[in-house]
Amino acid sequence: MSTVTEAEPSFDRQATGSRLDWQRMLPWGLLALLMAAMLGLQSQLYIGQERTVTAIFMFVALAQAWNVIGGFTGYACFGQVVFFGIGGYATAVTMVHWHLSFWLALPLSGVGAALFGAVIGLPLLRLKGHYFAIATLGVAEGMREVVTNVPALTGGGAGITVPTVGEDATTAYLGNDGFYLLFLGIAALSLVVALVISRNRFGFALRAIHQDEDAAGAMGINTTRAKVLAFSISGMLTGLVGACYAFQQVVIFPDRLFDVELTVLMVVMVVIGGSGTVLGPLLGAVGLQYLSEYLRHSYTEAHTFILGAIIIVAVVFLPQGFVNYVREARRSGDYSLLANVRRYRL
């Protein structure tokens, strides 16, 4: 009898450990399957469809990048596009003036965006709420003016052309198939980073800062270091996307790479999908970008109005985002959208 009694707890511990291991590995397995499916999908797409899916990959990466600082940490960065522009112009300038290949310019652009995030993050992350949001928006607008007013380096308002053909080309243009794979890789990287952050101590620290920064500091979390690191990681991912976009577009302009509309799209995708989660920004980016393309082709003149109305309805009925709504509804057993609206007092 004693032998059986001693064996039962051991068996329970083994079963619990196996279940936990399975739960830890499940997201990684799903991510691997998703990447394999996207690789297989490429051969089934027409040129226009391939470009659409490539754009979806780009916004998946941008949404996940914004989610690091805006979702996990709770600091709504309205100037996120500054990292996109820095990454794009860093790539263009290094390829034009330093004659570096794109494959060297790409990581340098990411590192440059991360360093810029650390430098401006130290003073700006002392601000909170709308003060931080407005300050970051001001940084983005200021950087656009800087780029515009140094034409010898950046081409100014006339733009700068990335060398992709001829003797000056350091890296051949990748074409539709190449950029599909490139942006798929960047999207996969952003998902891996988000998954790692969501499951380690650093991610828990960011969530604690989001809930109550003073309490997080009292618990021993170095809130300044955590926030600056999150801002730098977010900036690095956004800068990498900007670098790929600049190479894809060949000719870039300040108004295009520092367009605040890009930040708005990042924020909307994360908010609709569910901020502070990994799945939420992915679903938000895929759903919103696909919906935008469908409406643009089906309702050429009214697509912007229809998309805006859909976004408003989604935010009103699902203010916490789709993924968070499903999670809360499963926990409470109440799937009523009207009850959800009343719960959030909208």
- pTM of this structure: 0.91
Q: 10-residue block means of pLDDT along the chain (346 residues)?
A: 50 58 77 92 90 95 96 94 97 94 96 96 92 94 95 92 86 93 96 94 94 92 95 97 96 94 92 92 93 86 86 87 88 82 72
Measured distance CA(159)–CA(145) in Å, rounded: 13
If residue 252 lies in a helix (H) or strand (E), which one and from where to where?
A: strand 251-252
Identify residue 237 by its one-letter amino acid code: L
**Sequence spans of domains, the chain:** 28-258
If residue 41 lies in a helix (H) or strand (E), which one and from where to where?
A: helix 2-42
Measured distance CA(236)–CA(116) in Å, rounded: 9
- What torsion, rounded to 10 degrees, do the Cα atoms 238, 244, 250, 256 define? -20
Query: What would the pLDDT profile of 36-56 be if each residue is shown by its tens digit?
Result: 999 999 989 998 899 999 999
If residue 161 lies in a helix (H) or strand (E), which one and from where to where?
A: strand 160-161
Contact criterion met (CB below 8 Å) for 111 and 236? yes
Backbone angles phi, psi at 243, to 5 degrees: -65, -45
Measured distance CA(133)–CA(151) in Å, rounded: 29
User: Looking at residue 19, what is its pLDDT?
Assistant: 62
User: Looking at residue 4, what is its pLDDT?
Assistant: 46
Transcribe 123-138 into DSSP letters: HHTTS-HHHHHHHHHH
